[in-house]
Amino acid sequence: MASLIIAESAIFTIFVVAYLFYLGKSLTGPTPGEVLETPIFYTVCLLSSSLTIHFAGKSLERGQRGLFLALWFLTILLGGLFIYGTGEEWRRLIYEHGLTISTNLFGTTYYSLVGLHGFHVTAGLVMLFVVLIFGLAGRVGQDQSARVGVLSLYWHFVDAVWVVVFTVVYVIGR
Amino acid sequence: MIGALQLFGVLLWSTITAAAAPEKASTVITSIFAPETTPARSIFDLSMFVLAITGTIFAVVFALLVYSVVKFRGTAENAGREPAQVYGSTQIELSWTIIPVLIVVVLFLATARVIHAVQDAPQPSTALEVTVIGHQFWWEYRYPQLGIVTANELHIPVSDPAHPRPTFLKLLSADTDHSFWIPQLGGKTDLIPNRVNDMWMDPGRPGIFLGQCAQYCGTQHAKMLLRVSVDRPEDFDAWVRAQQEPAAQGEEAIAGRRVFETNACINCHAIKGTASYGRFGPDLTHLMSRTTIASGAAENTADNLRLWIQNPEAIKPGSLMPAMKLNDAELDALVRYMETLR
Amino acid sequence: MSSDVTQIYSGAAQSESRTWVETLHEWVITVDHKRLGVLYVLYALTFLTVAGVEALILRIQLMYPHNHFVSPQVFNQMFTMHGTTMIFFVAMPILFGFANYLVPLMIGARDMAFPRLNAFSFWLTALGGVLLYFSFLGGNGLYGAGSAPDAGWWAYAPLTSRAFSPGPSSDYWTIALLVSGFGSIGTAVNILATILCMRCPGMRLSRMPLLAWLNLTMSGLLLLAVTPLTAAQLMLLVDRYLGGHFFDTQAGGSATLWMHFFWIFGHPEVYVLIIPCFAFVSEIIQVFSRKPIFGYPVMVAATVCIGFVSMSVWAHHMFTIGMNSYANSFFTITTMAVGIPTGIKIFNWIGTMWGGRIQFKTPMLFSIGFLFQFLIAGLTGIMMAAAPFDWQLGLSYFVVAHFHYVIVGGILFALFAAFYYWYPKVTGRMLSESLGKLHFWLFLLGFHMTFDLMHIPGLLGMPRRIYTYEPGRGWDTLNLIISIGAFIQGIAIVVFVANLIISYWKGSAAGNDPWDAWTLEWSVSSPPPAYNFATVPTVASRRPLWDLKHPEDPDSRYE
């Protein structure tokens, strides 16, 4: 997983570089300052989900299956909220401001970067959900805590990427 | 070994022949070892220095390699005995680390000097400015100071060191990446869309210098040839004056001109002084002042012109010139008109 | 080690009652690192033939100026496919194949860390190759014969945008490489995990064979190198399918951004290719000089150094694009700097041969060829590191000569050496020495004929990627001889393949350790049993078999 994270970091770095390089270079259309609203609430959701998954892992190591399942479910909920938030933002951008991936350089780089991250979150949610199902079927116990740990490492990575993307897009970019 | 000697021999030969080439009007030497401008000469001097160093390194290491292969080969006498198992030697390894570092430092300093000399050279006020725009698969030349637009064959003046008149080029592209390379006149610089690049040259003697596009730009990259005519000052001025004139309006070519203006020709081509001002294809105002057509793909003769207009695929398959599908009479008239555009 | 225990996977002891369908099925579902290694190698050899034929087509067209052997459209597809195939579907798979086969054996492990991921990676790579070649059949590009990619293996924007590549050819290139890229990442992850976690007892990192160190470095580099290409290709797909503007110069996008992203991949990629070859040569030169590698710690340090520095040199492929003088100077110094550890390795190899007792078997012949040619290739690389010199040499046949010198003269020679050295271990049979020597001398002749001379047209102004050229510039005769050399190399490859096939049935039995070597793979039978080691070995030095054979003077006393 560590190797995969290294590789994925390189992919995200390239998209971030493209985003930064093209800041201010769009020839037309809405600019970040005009249309972006900082998604504080959904960011808090995603970052807290790192906390919940961490505690979920810890409780599984101690054998507390019930607590593990509850925290795990909470993680999925928070992650799902984040995705909903992204979708909400995109709906607003597309229908109210007319910003799509093909509008201008900002549109292209924004949707690609946030979309790539969102894709990784979604893939993570799918995997978390699969583990939830196994957990509800009673198949996830203390012995599986190492594997669950590997998956939460992925989830932490996804959160860390969001910190970077958030800073680049909503803080620096505006 | 044989290969290395071959290489050296041919290098030497080509340098000597290049240096000895008489001042013919059409010297076909596109060698990088026959520099004609200050930037080209700086590159040449640097290259000789680099070759000397790399050549020495090669000779030394090659000698060591050959020696070790010969001296330490397994023979009948020492068969069955393992040689002394040496694991390394700090002193030796240190020395063969430090020496390369020193070589790199020296090489780098020499190189950095030339990089700055060529790229950061200031543009004097006497410089001639030319804007080169790369197209698929031809070259557009604009002289903003002189109000000239032409294509495919560049004319620049000789630059006398006592009264320098270098040519400073701005390189742009209308479509994909290209690269302007005339080895005798300097290193190559790319033409990249949405980017402005610069290069300069100050050729010291008149002549024709050849090159071609060096960055793959599509199907006919191979025939995007370059032809630069370095003219003596009087010749250059005469050329400029002729280029500044609008197109000849001879009576004998009225029919041809009508064909030109009523077909799609005017969508792509411009002829100064007429209603044609298309910019997608080369400017044809002084077509006959050029030695070749289709960016060097064919000699500029009536037959070739005819063929080019009727069936460009025969000369340059994949070029963006469409086959005009004219009947014979129209074609003859059109070619006659083209021939008046001196 | 005896091989009379249940030998399900051992090639030499196949029970006759197995039908060919069952055998095929076994091979298709295998997760055994040795079988996957063989699959990778066979796959790569197939594509070597295909890409080799593409090269011959190119060379026939270039034999004479204004030749009409193929149209410009076909020529452009040929050079694009030749480059793309050779890098992604020959060089990378064959090196992964060797790594897969050898790494677990050399570190005393029973398989790779993630066998199913291993199989998945192989099949992804295989699919990528098939997809790329399907382009000849699929889709109808506007310019005729199929729709194979024709924008060069770098696929520079904006040539690959919808405006200039309207058909699906660029998409075949993009998606085939995207898919096989995921396969490569999977393999790299596997190699890293295997080496870091599954070494046998006693094998500290400082006691690993150099081959393991080099594959470790290669895998780390690969993770950071292939992913930028993946990212850039995703961006290209966004441009082509979703109307994005990453590389759309009409919308303010940047063509040079693609170049940067591509070469951030492209340069470390070539180090990914050469580093395993350093590994082969390191192992082989030791054994055939009868001495341990000279300066093992420095060899490791130099390799890791090369791995890091190689990530900072990429824009030496872009010296002509008009970067400012500071950027050009920066990339000049980093490129020259990466030559230092590389040069040191050459010295260490000579140091290994020095004072040894050299045996000129075929693996050693190819390794010596490698040394000579890699030296020259490195030096022409230094020439081009000097940016102003590159302004003349770049984008010409000089560069083509340089990189073929590295890839054919370096990588392929090292691979041939590796074939002759490890074929006995994989199959239990020796390759024919006489055919091997014929292969070597023929190939050497053809190689030098082609690639030594190829430097000269570059010096005389011949650019790359041209389907024809003007006569009278001094390029004509040279191109003819270059093409003849290419055919000679082709014949040598035929000899090689014949050797591989004939020796499989007629080669003399190899035994466990035909070369009197020192690393763990030579302690098991040839071919190894499915489980590699009946008991996991414990090692006390870098050359465990030397210690066993020379108990009076083991390496462990000196390390």
Mean pLDDT of B123-143: 96
Which position has the token pair 């032809």? B227
* Subunits adjacent to chain B (3 or more Cβ pairs under 8 Å): C
The predicted structure's pLDDT at residue C350: 96
Judge: A26–C252 Cβ closer than 8 Å, yes or no.
yes
Is residue C144 predicted with pLDDT exceeding 60? Answer: no
The predicted structure's pLDDT at residue A29: 86
CB pairs under 8 A between B and C: 304
The residue of A27, A112, A114, A119 whose CB has the most chain C CBs within 10 angstroms, and thus the best one to mutate to test that interface, is A112
Mean pLDDT of A45-49: 95
Give CA separation, C326 vs A130, B112, B114, B252, in Å: 53, 9, 12, 59
Residue C36, classed as helix, strand or coil, is helix
Is residue C456 predicted with pLDDT exceeding 90? Answer: yes
Is-cis flag, bond preceding B137, omega within 30? yes
Burial B238-276 (b: 16+ CB within 10 A, else e): ebbeebeeebbeeeebeebbebbeeeebbebbbbbebeb
Is residue C555 predicted with pLDDT exceeding 90? Answer: no
The band of A95, judged by pLDDT with boundaries at 50, 70 and 90, is very high
Q: Is C244 on the interface with A (CB under 8 A)?
A: yes
C contact residues 249-268, partner A, Cβ 8 Å cutoff: 251-254, 257, 261, 264
The residue of B26, B75, B85, B118 whose CB has the most chain C CBs within 10 angstroms, and thus the best one to mutate to test that interface, is B85
Residue B86 falls within a domain, yes or no?
no
The band of B18, judged by pLDDT with boundaries at 50, 70 and 90, is very low
- Backbone region of residue B12 per phi and psi (left: phi > 0; alpha: psi in -120 to 50; beta: other values): alpha
Judge: B31–C391 Cβ closer than 8 Å, yes or no.
no
Is residue C501 predicted with pLDDT exceeding 80? Answer: yes
Q: β-strands B167-173, B128-135: how paired?
A: parallel
The predicted structure's pLDDT at residue B81: 82
The predicted structure's pLDDT at residue A78: 96
pLDDT tens digits, residue range B71-84? 999 887 777 788 98
Q: How far is C231 from chain A (nearest CA, A)?
A: 5
C contact residues 61-120, partner B, Cβ 8 Å cutoff: 71-73, 76
Nearest residue on chain C to B11, alpha-carbon basis: C456
pLDDT tens digits, residue range A123-171? 999 999 999 999 999 988 888 889 999 999 999 999 999 999 999 999 9
Nearest residue on chain C to B14, alpha-carbon basis: C460
Residue C6 falls within a domain, yes or no?
no
Judge: B68–C350 Cβ closer than 8 Å, yes or no.
yes
> Which of B72, B176, B187 lies closest to C159 in CB terms?
B176
Closest CA to C361 of C290, C447, C311, C293: C290
Q: What crossing angle do the helices spanning C325-353 and C255-289 adopt, rounded to 10°?
A: 10
| CB neighbour list of residue C261: distance below 8 Å, 6 or more residues apart | A14, A18, C228, C229, C231, C232, C235
Residue B179 falls within a domain, yes or no?
no
Is residue A17 predicted with pLDDT exceeding 70? Answer: yes
Give the C-alpha separation, B179 to B132, whole Å: 11
Residue C144, classed as helix, strand or coil, is coil
The predicted structure's pLDDT at residue C138: 77
Residue C4 falls within a domain, yes or no?
no
CATH of the domain at C454: 1.20.210.10
Quote the number of domains for chain C. 1
Give the C-alpha separation, C88 to C177, whole Å: 8
Domain ranges, residue B307: 251-339
Q: First-to-last CA distance in chain C?
A: 28
Q: CA angle at residue B338 from B332 to B341, to 5 degrees?
A: 150
The band of B7, judged by pLDDT with boundaries at 50, 70 and 90, is low
Q: β-strands B298-299, B178-180: how paired?
A: unpaired
DSSP single-letter state for residue C316: G
Q: Which fold has domain A63-174?
A: Four Helix Bundle (Hemerythrin (Met), subunit A) (1.20.120)
Q: Round the average pLDDT of chain B to a whole number and report it.
A: 90
Domain ranges, residue C136: 11-557
> Which of C185, C235, C246 lies closest to A7 in CB terms?
C185
Q: A-side interface with C, Cβ within 8 Å?
A: 3-4, 6-8, 10-15, 18, 21-22, 25-27, 100-102, 104-105, 107-109, 112, 116
Mean pLDDT of C312-330: 96
B contact residues 33-72, partner C, Cβ 8 Å cutoff: 33, 42-43, 46-47, 50-51, 54, 57-58, 61-62, 64-65, 68-69, 72
Give the C-alpha separation, C329 to C336, whole Å: 11
Is residue B20 predicted with pLDDT exceeding 70? Answer: no
**Partners of residue C220 in chain A, C-beta under 8 Å:** 6
The predicted structure's pLDDT at residue C558: 82
Q: B133 has which bridge partners?
A: B140, B172
The predicted structure's pLDDT at residue C176: 96
- Written as six digits, the tokens of C281 are 């040569």
Mean pLDDT of B35-60: 97
Measured from the Cβ of residue C164, the count of other Cβ atoms closer than 10 Å reads 16
pLDDT tens digits, residue range C254-293? 999 999 999 999 999 999 999 999 999 999 999 999 999 9
Q: Is C327 on the interface with B (CB under 8 A)?
A: no
Q: How far is C25 from chain B (nearest CA, A)?
A: 45
Residue B303 falls within a domain, yes or no?
yes
Q: Round the average pLDDT of chain C to a whole number and report it.
A: 93
pLDDT tens digits, residue range C6-40? 344 444 445 556 899 999 999 999 999 999 999 99
pLDDT tens digits, residue range B281-301? 999 999 999 999 999 999 999
DSSP single-letter state for residue B129: E
CATH of the domain at B269: 2.60.40.420
> Which of B7, B116, B190 lies closest to C452 in CB terms?
B7
Mean pLDDT of B195-224: 96
Is residue A51 predicted with pLDDT exceeding 60? Answer: yes
Q: β-strands B153-157, B225-231: how paired?
A: parallel
Q: β-strands B207-212, B167-173: how paired?
A: unpaired
- Written as six digits, the tokens of B189 are 């610089």
The predicted structure's pLDDT at residue B4: 52
Residue B266 falls within a domain, yes or no?
yes
Mean pLDDT of B41-70: 96
Residue C109 falls within a domain, yes or no?
yes
Which amino acid is present at A59? S
Measured from the Cβ of residue B303, the count of other Cβ atoms closer than 10 Å reads 10
* Subunits adjacent to chain C (3 or more Cβ pairs under 8 Å): A, B
The predicted structure's pLDDT at residue C167: 83
- The domain segmentation of chain A, as residue ranges, is 63-174
**Partners of residue C353 in chain B, C-beta under 8 Å:** 68-69, 72
The predicted structure's pLDDT at residue C58: 97
The predicted structure's pLDDT at residue B28: 67
- Written as six digits, the tokens of C498 are 């014949």
Q: B212 has which bridge partners?
A: B225
Residue C510 has phi, psi (to 5 degrees) of: -90, -35
Contact C271, C309 (CB under 8 A): no
Residue C275 falls within a domain, yes or no?
yes
C contact residues 226-265, partner B, Cβ 8 Å cutoff: 249-250, 252-256
Least confident of B5-14, C214-223, C519-528: B5-14
The CA dihedral of B109, B110, B111, B113, to the nearest 10 degrees, is 80
Q: How far is C254 from chain B (nearest CA, A)?
A: 7
Residue B51 falls within a domain, yes or no?
no
The predicted structure's pLDDT at residue B14: 52
Give the C-alpha separation, C443 to C413, whole Å: 9
Residue B69, classed as helix, strand or coil, is helix
**Partners of residue C261 in chain A, C-beta under 8 Å:** 14, 18
> Which of C250, C389, C453 lies closest to B43 in CB terms?
C389
Give the C-alpha separation, C181 to C262, whole Å: 14
Mean pLDDT of C169-175: 94
**DSSP code string of B299-314:** E--HHHHHHHHH-GGG
Contact B305, B292 (CB under 8 A): no
